[in-house]
């Protein structure tokens, strides 16, 4: 999972940098600097399951780059849900095959956790 996170971060930086229209020269105009001074607004983080956070999406994406970022994040969130559902099914099947008793506790209830914290959403990001 770490390679996909690294790839996501690289893509996210690339797309957001394009969307912000960062200029390579230092002689930018005042309106361009004002546009770059606003932070990206994110939608609230969703929890597809207790203790598991999804990647937050950009609220109201306006540029094609922001829409591509949201599409990538949506696919990653779908993969996450699919992965923990497959994992849950496997652990339940394994317990049945080995004859282990869950004693009223769902064996897959606490097998996944992920906390997503957005630490930077400003213009330099």
pLDDT digits (tens, 9 = 90+) for 80-114: 999 988 888 888 888 888 877 666 667 667 777 88
Give residue 13's domain range. Answer: 2-98
pLDDT score recorded for residue 113: 82
Distance CA(12)–CA(40), nearest Å, equals 12
Q: Which residue has the tokens 């599409």?
A: 71
Domains contained in the chain, number = 1
| Residue 18, in any domain of the structure | yes
Judged on CB neighbours under 10 Å (0-12, 13-18, 19+), 122 is: exposed
CA torsion 22-68-14-44 (nearest 10°) is 80
pTM above 0.85, yes or no: no
Q: Which residue has the tokens 């929890």?
A: 47
pLDDT along the chain (125 residues), means of 10: 55 49 39 54 89 92 91 95 88 81 68 84 70
Residue 56 has a CB neighbour count (10 Å cut-off) of 19
| Residue 20, in any domain of the structure | yes
């Amino acid at each position: 999972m770490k390679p996909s996170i690294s790839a996501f971060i690289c893509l996210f930086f690339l797309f957001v940098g394009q969307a912000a229209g960062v200029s390579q020269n230092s002689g930018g105009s005042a309106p361009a600097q004002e546009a770059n001074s606003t932070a990206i607004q994110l939608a609230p983080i969703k929890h597809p399951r207790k203790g598991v956070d999804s990647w937050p999406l950009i609220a109201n994406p306006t540029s094609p780059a922001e829409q591509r970022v949201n599409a990538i994040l949506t696919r990653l969130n779908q993969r996450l849900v699919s992965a923990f559902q497959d994992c849950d099914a496997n652990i339940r099947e394994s317990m049945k095959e080995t004859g282990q008793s869950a004693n009223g506790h769902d064996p897959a209830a606490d097998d996944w956790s992920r906390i997503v914290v957005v630490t930077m959403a400003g213009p330099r990001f």
